[in-house]
Amino acid sequence: MTSDSLAAKVRELASRKGALILAHNYQIAEVQDVADFVGDSLELAKKAAEVRSDLILFCGVRFMAETAKILSPDALVLEPDPNAGCPMANMLNARQLQHLKDLHPDAVVVTYVNSSAEVKALSDVCCTSGNALKVVAGIPADKEIIFVPDKSLGAYVSGMLNRKLIFWDGYCPTHHRITPDAVRQARRDHPNAKVIVHPECTPDVTAVADEVASTAGILRYAISSTAKEFVIGTEIGLLHRLAIENPGKFFYPVTRFADCPNMKLNTLEKLLWSLEDMQYEVTVPANIADKARTALNRMLEYV
């Protein structure tokens, strides 16, 4: 079956079943094109909190689908491939976070959404790369802050706000493939280009960029910039929307190796099977979901 006819089948089945298809900016082009809404983690969380759909097919990775389920508890949330996890989210478990909290009992816990529901449930407030600066800036200056699990986003926030944070040793393997040497080479190859990178990149990469932003922030920067060429330091799935939304502008990845294998597990075939068989259901135990929802709702005050 061609990808066009598969896409038509997915759309037809989604509308017959009343399913809302949400997709992250890193999904393969065909999945983005078939979705009702494509966005960054913050936009997708906001959408999940607002929608009145009984059925959400979430195309991203597990923590995003869990977030949608927590914020839209009455909806049936499906993920096309149950193996699409996030290695960074798996780098911190609830016991480890509890131990860190025990070491710093007065600290406010700020947790990046790239984390499990259990970890969110132990947190005071969540953040995404789109609002981490605002969330941390909103915490009184005399308060200690634990920032988990991403040490790279944490270092960026700490540097921008000149604020000491207690980190965890978590990171995104995909963004850590983007190196300062590769950025310098890309600048030599494209001397007129603006360099925009994601804050999951290491501090030596964010230090040599022109702009640091979430995936939605990168999209906004590209649209509003008068520059014609851009070097992009994030997962390569974002290049699809960048190209579509900016005709006449040129986008070059810092490296083609910044390809998240988990994000790429979702395919049109799997979306179709998911809607046909109504699987794989995303569930979060109620006691965990209730606590995690409090931390997520606090985050949504900083949109």
**Contacts to ligand 13P by CB under 6 A:** 25, 40-41, 114, 128-130, 172, 200, 214-215, 235
The per-residue b/e assignment along 108-117, b for 16 or more CB within 10 angstroms, e otherwise, is bbbbbbbbbb
Residues 252/236, Cβ–Cβ less than 8 Å: no
Of 22, 117, 126, 263, the residue at the interface with ligand SF4 (CB under 6 A) is 263
Of 20, 71, 88, 100, the residue at the interface with ligand SF4 (CB under 6 A) is 88
Among candidate residues 27, 23, 18, the one with its CA nearest the CA of residue 235: 27
The values of phi and psi at residue 126, to 5°, are: -100, 170
87 binds, among ligand SF4, ligand 13P, none (CB under 5 to 8 A by kind): ligand SF4
Q: How far is the CB of 237 from ligand SF4 (least distance, A)?
A: 9
DSSP state of 150: B
Q: Is 187 exposed, middle or buried (0-12, 13-18, 19+ CB in 10 A)?
A: middle
81 binds, among ligand 13P, ligand SF4, none (CB under 5 to 8 A by kind): none
Q: How far is the CB of 261 from ligand SF4 (least distance, A)?
A: 8
* Residue indicated by tokens 């230090």: 207
Among candidate residues 131, 134, 135, 175, the one with its CA nearest the CA of residue 151: 175
7 vs 86 by CB, closer to ligand SF4: 86
Stretch that binds ligand SF4, among 85-93, 98-106, 130-138, 280-288 (CB under 6 A): 85-93
215 binds, among ligand SF4, ligand 13P, none (CB under 5 to 8 A by kind): ligand 13P
Site string for ligand SF4, 48-77 (x = CB under 6 A): -------------x----------------
